[in-house]
Structure 1
């Protein structure tokens, strides 16, 4: 119910609106991420405008995601597959991490869906090679195509490919594949899906690759940061759900035991390999820069179907059912996940909880409110201006969504997709409305305070005639959420 409540009532999260806006500017790829989610949003936007249509693709991906878990559980557990799938389903839905990223219309719901399909089909192929020396080619090529689609969602999909190759190296029975031409055909299939990304980057001075390269080395100095890695681990464990983390560890241990064999010789090394490769590489990034908890979402994909090992005690060979055990852990995980899910729904759909503690805190959550009110005020002034600008990509995206106006631009020192769009538009000498807030104020009274619109065009500044024309207070149930400020003037470059 919490998922449905969020899907139908929450105003788009700033990043949801940002990616929706990408879908209104269809292109080969985009600055921040690959293009698949934007393409999907562009197609679905023809069905209408609203929260239901915006998040309708998540219903498609969720169905594929849990259908794949259904296939995996029946493959691993045979006649006990139904019970195993129910446990996997409950644990997945009750994890705050999966609640967030299967609910929000971001790139991640497609990433984990295609990555899971790819990993499962690779397991089916590798099992065939292990058992009969050949394997079914359709699983190998299908897995490669699914991996290519995952790569069109987020670059971290490469972890699945690295895991498959690592298993081939580590398992002697699979090393024959390095002499199998089908392996290189699969690599070619997965690589082919990167063509849109390469075309876009070639047309745009390799901006995406520059962004991710600098993002990975932005620590500001040569010192290692083990504290940042520890914080990455702790936040990842907390958002995944502490009870589920403990159960995953126990289940992985049981999977390594000969007493609880799986109906697959390669699933365990694939599951553990994906966890260690994803967590290890992101921990390495965290030593020098910043690694965020949700980047590691692929680490748990193949571990979840191992959870039934902890909760199910096999019955006799003559029965088709298992005895459930450790129900307290399952119920505890459900209760914790349900409470967190409804708190998130309240925070983003009804009232930002941080507003009760004062004017600061959770600025992202506060941005989910008041946009229809802001849009009404902006519309009153817009006919007398050539440009609609805001001071951050989040507010620009939300305003564009509220107005259904794909021409809104963001001006800020942060380079983002708006800089790419701004580079193809006439900005100088245009009259503009600028929407700002206290999080990203509009201060540009001197050249050193210029606000960068386009990396090639240089910074922009206010002409003397600029003025604040409106203050837009946003309240909820009589409690102040935040203020927006609207400015009017003409854009010129810094001398």
Structure 2
């Protein structure tokens, strides 16, 4: 007999939910312990290892969380615990929010949150993890406030929105949704509610603006100016965005929402919290690739919208389909995990395979350097390699050379003045162009390391010349990444104060 019948009793819905909860937690716990730290995670690890009031490219929340976690342990599974538990905790939040809804809707929506592809696979600790917690909590409290017209709940929603803003700037899209809700059929009570939300979220925004004004407006420069050099009109990126959403939500959910718009448009406030952010991402997709993780905050809200729009039977079928998709993803991960790392050398190409080895077997890469780890200042030529190898070495590796607009937090952490005259070893995944190094050292030597069949180039520079590096690397970096508009009031800039005053 099927677990779900046409008129499934409440205990069947609960039973399936708890089975999904247990199985997904077991798989995610294993994956969180077995998967090596990725470049982004290692980057944020250093935020927690060297905590501060803010960081270069995003607001500070994940760094603050990691600082607390690192105080207990630096094991991968422990640092990832907020991510590993996130689908489960989100499902608990939805169960509490839906306590007065029919049991099919309540348990069905919570189960969909557990079985969604991203909920099964994503165990990485990134800026998106606190963003999702705060955004979903803010949205659910906002919906509760709308339902009861409770002023204090609007205030709590605003505080949570402030937490989301201190996690990642995409929180403003949820704020736009609140504004759109207030503008649609405006009423005095709506304006009062919106004012409470804004007033309670405002301190987080003011804090972030104050910190930026004292730190080169780093978050603003990165997110508004420096990271969009490749933006251009394209027909491919909207199709990619649409395909990504179908995968994240599952085809049945997307088809169900497209087929019955009248059912979900009648819901109070919730359609705004889904349609406004996802439509903005849709417009942005015309000129830019939308990151998979950008939309994570709104996926649980889509499932809530869907669960309240379809029949119990349709929801049952959707859950069955989602369970099959989840099982396929788990099988795929287990198949990949069972393969030796060398299997990927022919599939990925030389440079990408070296990146895999550097991540998965970082301890072997460090061991291959031998006595050089103590004789030289250790660096790489890119942000991701530096933080990844540095995490595994438990020793920060700076970045040599101009690098890119991304992840320039190294500009805050590394003072190249103190390295004048020192010997430096730069580890690279590709053959170096010697003219990128010879101007900045008395002499340069290059050799090749091979680890698990992957090639790494070891560039040894003796007698670092800071004056030459200042002219050849730091001055161009100042022009490219620190050209702060005059209309932004500056109270301080670490890059200017360190190198140009």
TM-score (norm 2): 0.78
Structure 1 pair 288/411, CA: closer, same or farther in 2 (3 Å)? same
What is the rounded CA distance, in whole Å, between the counterparts of 1:87 and 1:251 in structure 2?
18
Structure 1 pair 138/342, CA: closer, same or farther in 2 (3 Å)? farther
Structure 2 counterpart of 1:127: 147
Structure 2 counterpart of 1:402: 392
Structure 2 counterpart of 1:71: 96
Structure 1 pair 85/185, CA: closer, same or farther in 2 (3 Å)? closer
Q: Establish whether residue 227 from structure 1 lines up as the match of residue 236 from structure 2.
A: yes
Q: Establish whether residue 484 from structure 1 lines up as the match of residue 498 from structure 2.
A: no
Structure 1 counterpart of 2:110: 89
Q: Establish whether residue 335 from structure 1 lines up as the match of residue 349 from structure 2.
A: no
Equivalent residue in structure 1 for 2:364, among 339, 364, 373: 373
Q: How does 1:168-183 map to 2 (within 5 A)?
A: 168-172=182-186, 174-178=187-191, 180=192, 183=194
* Number of matched pairs: 438
Q: Which structure has more strand as a fraction of its residues?
A: 1
Shift of 1:115: 0.5
What is the rounded CA distance, in whole Å, between the counterparts of 2:417 and 2:91 in structure 1?
44
Q: How does 1:39-438 map to 2 (within 5 A)?
A: 39-59=64-84, 61-75=86-100, 77=101, 80-81=102-103, 83-101=104-122, 103-128=123-148, 135-172=149-186, 174-178=187-191, 180=192, 183-215=194-226, 217-219=228-230, 224-250=233-259, 253-256=262-265, 266=268, 269-270=269-270, 272-309=271-308, 312-313=311-312, 324-325=313-314, 327-344=316-333, 346-347=335-336, 351=340, 354-355=344-345, 357=347, 359=349, 367-378=358-369, 380-385=371-376, 387-406=377-396, 408-409=398-399, 411-415=401-405, 416-423=408-415, 426-438=418-430
Once the two structures are superposed, what CA deviation does each residue of 1:253-306 show, in whole Å capped at 9, x if it has no partner?
A: 53346xxxxxxx52xx32x22332222222333333443233223333312123
CA contact (8 A) 2:368 2:449 kept: no
Shift of 1:195: 3.9
CA contact (8 A) 1:7 1:55 kept: yes
Structure 1 pair 284/212, CA: closer, same or farther in 2 (3 Å)? same
Shift of 1:14: 1.2
- Where 2:426 maps in the other structure, the secondary structure is strand
Structure 1 pair 280/465, CA: closer, same or farther in 2 (3 Å)? same
Which structure 2 residue ranges, 5 or more long, are not aligned?
1-25, 472-501
What is the rounded CA distance, in whole Å, between the counterparts of 2:348 and 2:371 in structure 1?
31
Which structure 1 residue ranges, 5 or more long, are not aligned?
129-134, 258-264, 314-323, 451-459, 475-479
Structure 1 counterpart of 2:490: none
Structure 1 counterpart of 2:444: 466
CA contact (8 A) 1:112 1:301 kept: no
What is the rounded CA distance, in whole Å, between the counterparts of 2:284 and 2:336 in structure 1?
31
CA contact (8 A) 1:118 1:143 kept: yes
Structure 1 counterpart of 2:478: none
Structure 1 pair 153/216, CA: closer, same or farther in 2 (3 Å)? same
Shift of 1:175: 4.4
What is the rounded CA distance, in whole Å, between the counterparts of 2:222 and 2:106 in structure 1?
40
What is the rounded CA distance, in whole Å, between the counterparts of 1:325 and 1:360 in structure 2?
48
